[in-house]
Amino acid sequence: MALALGEIDHQADQPSLEASVPLKAFEEYGVDNPYDRIIKAAKELPSRVILIEEANGGFTALSWAPEVRYVPAEESDLGYSYVRVVFNEKLRPWITNLREHFAVIPLRELLEMPSVLSARLYEVIWHAWMSGRRAEFELDIKELKFALGLLEFDQRGRVVKERYRSWRDFSKQLEASLKLIRERGSLAATFSGLNPLGGRKFTKVRFVVEVIKPIPHLGLSPTFTVEPRKRSNRLGEQEERLRMKLEEMGFKGSLERLLKSHPIAEIEAAISLTQGKDVDNPAAYMRSLLTSGAARSEVERTATEQVHREASEKRKEKSREESVADAEWEKYRHEVADQVLADEGLTEEQVEMLVIEAIPKPARKGLDRAHPTYRAYRPGVIFERYPARVPDAALDIEVFKKRFLSGDRT
């Protein structure tokens, strides 16, 4: 499905919801048996649904694709075998706005997931993770099961089929899938069951996500990971600091119960927002920030700003590196030009005549050999006259970067 969504022209005003995915695309992403994978996808994709929630608490369940067709090469109008996917027209408003999310999924990792459940869970985690803006998030168990294909509803919204009803069985499936995701994906996640309203039955799942492999297109590097025992100690220290801060503001409730409803980051954000506020009851104000979603918004805002800052720094660093590379390349081009002149026995006066002729007449006035315009034109004029003596690195900066900036001066 991810490959098909990637074929949609999201830049068009009214993009077609038909996508043709060549069989070779599966091979390019490392799928050993693309034909078998296509048959499996063709059987499953029409039955896969997306749940669209409504403001009044209702929802609509729509199938992703009513038609999936495999066309072999001998019958193909495109000259090669491909899969034709026709997405549900009713999903147009959502599909045409999914480019940002689906474009960033590492398709090779998604396609290499050994089970349907692990692939679907990876998609769910990736989207909820929001390109690193939400390292911790909570999902309703029913919605999660629905997204994983473990829950089915009838037209009236009643559950007609549910796999792994008990938390014990469901958590085993999550653990097994997350193990596969850790082995093959760029992200790793841990999870825990929650019941914000109290009681023994879990109604939500909290995920904590880490980057374990570099994700170049997002500019993200692996986060610091620790052994489970050390992680427990670290969380214990965080909870103790939280407990002290909450006591200072007069909080009398249970920190453990608070942690079941809200991630540590949100609680810390609520405490930070409360500090310095002139309110009669800081603890109550802090709770209101949590229940209203204001603390969550603050966490997401801070995370977004951090991502933007890091991206900005990376762009600045890349710009500095490119500036250095440009200067080095220009220096190298002049060195090559000087060598060509020496080999050909030309004088600088002869070169000057060639350069002046190459420069447009309006720009010739006041030119001398030290003028920036003259210096810029000089190597190119010499290279054009003696192309056989010019190495590729003097003509193409990318070749120069790969060969010379890596230390290869041959």
| Mean pLDDT comparison of 35-39, 130-134, 144-148, 158-162, highest-scoring range | 144-148
Provide mean pLDDT across the span 190-207: 83
Sign of CA dihedral 288, 291, 296, 297: negative
Contact call for residues 69 and 83 (beta carbons, < 8 A): yes
CB neighbours of residue 310 within 10 Å: 15
pLDDT band at 231 (very low <50, low <70, confident <90, very high): very low
The residue among 77 and 7 whose pLDDT is bigger is 77
Fold of 1-103: Arc Repressor Mutant, subunit A (1.10.10)
Burial group, residue 44, by CB count within 10 angstroms (0-12, 13-18, 19+): middle
Q: What is the mean pLDDT of the chain?
A: 78
Provide mean pLDDT across the span 305-332: 77
Query: Does the pLDDT of residue 64 top 90, yes or no?
Result: no
pLDDT at 3 (0 to 100) = 64
pLDDT band at 174 (very low <50, low <70, confident <90, very high): very high
Are the folds of 1-103 and 104-225 the same? yes
Q: Return the minimum-mean-pLDDT range out of 50-54, 223-227, 374-378, 383-387.
A: 223-227
Provide mean pLDDT across the span 349-378: 80
pLDDT at 287 (0 to 100) = 87
27-35 own/partner pairs: CB under 8 Å, 24+ apart = 29/3, 29/107, 29/108, 29/111, 29/112, 30/108, 30/111, 30/112, 31/111, 31/112
pLDDT band at 205 (very low <50, low <70, confident <90, very high): very high
pLDDT band at 103 (very low <50, low <70, confident <90, very high): very low
Domain ranges of the chain: 1-103, 104-225, 243-292, 314-403
Residue with tokens 């048996």: 33
Q: Return d(Cα 75, Cα 216) in angstroms, integer.
A: 39
The residue among 196 and 360 whose pLDDT is bigger is 360
pLDDT at 339 (0 to 100) = 92
Query: Does the pLDDT of residue 141 top 80, yes or no?
Result: yes
Q: Return the minimum-mean-pLDDT range out of 81-85, 174-178, 315-319, 368-372.
A: 315-319
Model confidence over 280-292: pLDDT tens digits?
888 888 888 888 8
pLDDT at 172 (0 to 100) = 92
CATH architecture of 104-225: Orthogonal Bundle (1.10)
Model confidence over 21-58: pLDDT tens digits?
787 766 655 555 667 767 777 777 776 666 565 555 56
CB neighbours of residue 75 within 10 Å: 7
Q: Return d(Cα 267, Cα 193) in angstroms, integer.
A: 18
